[in-house]
Amino acid sequence: MNKQLLDSLPAPVSRAYRLMYDQPDAEQAYQSIALFSEPLIKWYGTIGLVALREKRPDLLVGNGILSKFLSPSLGIWAQINRLAMKHAPFEGEMSPLSGLFDELLGRQTAPIQNCVKRIEDYLGGQLQKKTLLDFLECLVAYRNRSRGHGAPSVQHQREFSQILLAAYEELLQRLAGLSRFQLTYVERTELLRSGAVHVLRVCNGLNSFILPERLTLQTANALASESVHLFTDSERPVIELSPIIVRPSHADSFYFLNGNRKHVEYLCYDGVGDEYYRPDGYREAIADFLSVDEQTDANVVIDHSEPEAPADGKTRKTDITFGDLGGF
């Protein structure tokens, strides 16, 4: 591969490609294709997601993307790629992966040829890799059939924050007006005997820094919370990847959505112990965040019932029940 092109890729993508390319035999190269494919799919999908939010936000709501993102599936990433390429495409050399996929689709290296051949054999027929979208979708099909559906592996989770940070920086350079977005995400999670500690990173423009505070959670909660989040400069979330962490103006609390496909909790963590409570104004925040009409949207039901308050005066949980989101 052209060294300049390889150096221009996000570090996780570049490392994954080098790993696959440098394998001594076809079998080992084939085994590394999943590690290579997921960063590519998600990096491009992140760019597509923000591009859609910038150019066609109606599609994100109309197609249920925001709600469905509560399931971190490659099928969702593929759906975003399809929407983005159709409705908010990058043109010509502006495509951030154009050079890479020109080479991949042309099968210009022996390791790529071997990997593609093995994928075709596994899926039972020659793949029609005419476009970038075709290639992404064949990778999703291969990954799901060979490794199962659902969330990415632990190794891919470790790569995830770097991939999305690179995509965010790419977008800032390409899309007018995107500098108003702030990126806040869990960079890494340290698992301790007493629980888990999140290390948080904030990006303002192309500058980023790690917050001095650490978010301490119970291990079970922390394991479900490695993700990335886009915010406006007023700290309102505009793109959600489960769970959402919202850092309000005061520095001692974090709000976040945490849950699975059909059941979500909107809670506040105040940094003391492992207790959560429902913050003031949660109703308005939820309705505004989801961008839905609570009376007419049949896919989202927000439970506004008032549960009995605990003795300490803090309400522990608010439920949002989603309709059937389907399998991916």
Phi–psi pair at 212, nearest 5 degrees: -65, -25
Summary mean pLDDT of the chain: 52
| pTM assigned to the model | 0.42
Instruction: Name which residue leads in pLDDT, 220 or 78.
Output: 78
292-295: long-range contacts, CB 8 A cutoff, minimum separation 24: 292/61
User: What do you get for the CA distance between the two ends of the chain, in Å?
Assistant: 33
Would you say 74 and 144 are in contact if contact means Cβ atoms under 8 Å apart?
A: yes
Q: Which of these, 317, 164, 149, lies nearest to 241 by C-alpha position?
A: 164
What pLDDT band is residue 255 in, cutting at 50, 70 and 90? very low
Which ranges in the chain belong to alpha helices (H)?
3-8, 11-21, 26-31, 33-55, 57-62, 65-68, 74-87, 98-105, 110-123, 132-147, 154-174, 219-223, 282-290
- Mean per-residue pLDDT for 34-57? 65
- Mean per-residue pLDDT for 199-214? 63
Integer-rounded Cα Rg, in Å, for the chain is 21
CA–CA distance, 73 with 162 (Å, rounded to integer): 19
Q: Which of these, 5, 25, 27, lies nearest to 17 by C-alpha position?
A: 5
pLDDT at 191: 58
Instruction: Name which residue leads in pLDDT, 173 or 260.
Output: 173
pLDDT at 58: 77
Q: What angle do CA 96, 72, 80 make, to 5 degrees?
A: 40
Residue 18 has pLDDT above 50, yes or no: yes
CA–CA distance, 145 with 169 (Å, rounded to integer): 32
Phi–psi pair at 25, nearest 5 degrees: -145, 165
CA–CA distance, 11 with 161 (Å, rounded to integer): 11
Residue 50 has pLDDT above 60, yes or no: yes
Q: Among 20-24, 32-36, 307-311, whose mean pLDDT is lowest?
A: 307-311
- Mean per-residue pLDDT for 25-53? 61
**pLDDT digit string, tens, across residues 81-105:** 778 777 776 554 445 455 555 555 5
**pLDDT digit string, tens, across residues 232-254:** 444 443 333 333 344 444 434 44
pLDDT at 231: 38
Quote the percentage of the chain above a pLDDT of 90.
0
What pLDDT band is residue 71 in, cutting at 50, 70 and 90? very low
Domain ranges of the chain: 3-147, 177-322
Would you say 39 and 10 are in contact if contact means Cβ atoms under 8 Å apart?
A: yes
Per DSSP, the residues of 211-278 read EEEEEEE-HHHHHT---EEEEETTS-EEE--SSPEE--SSTT-EEEEEE-SSEEEEEEE-SSTT-EEP
Highest mean pLDDT among 68-72, 176-180, 269-273: 269-273
pLDDT at 246: 40
Instruction: Name which residue leads in pLDDT, 200 or 91.
Output: 200
Would you say 192 and 225 are in contact if contact means Cβ atoms under 8 Å apart?
A: no
Work out the burial of residue 123: count CB atoms within 10 Å of its CB; fewer than 13 is exposed, 13-18 middle, 19 or more buried.
middle
Task: Please tell me whether residue 305 adopts helix, strand or coil conformation.
Answer: coil
Residue 197 has pLDDT above 60, yes or no: yes
Highest mean pLDDT among 119-128, 175-184, 296-305: 119-128
pLDDT at 35: 55
- Mean per-residue pLDDT for 201-207? 58
CA–CA distance, 38 with 29 (Å, rounded to integer): 15
Instruction: Name which residue leads in pLDDT, 119 or 263.
Output: 119
Cis bond leading into 243, ω under 30°? Answer: yes
pLDDT at 78: 72
1: its two tokens: 């591969």
Would you say 46 and 13 are in contact if contact means Cβ atoms under 8 Å apart?
A: no
Phi–psi pair at 11, nearest 5 degrees: -55, -45
What pLDDT band is residue 162 in, cutting at 50, 70 and 90? low
Residue 171 has pLDDT above 70, yes or no: no
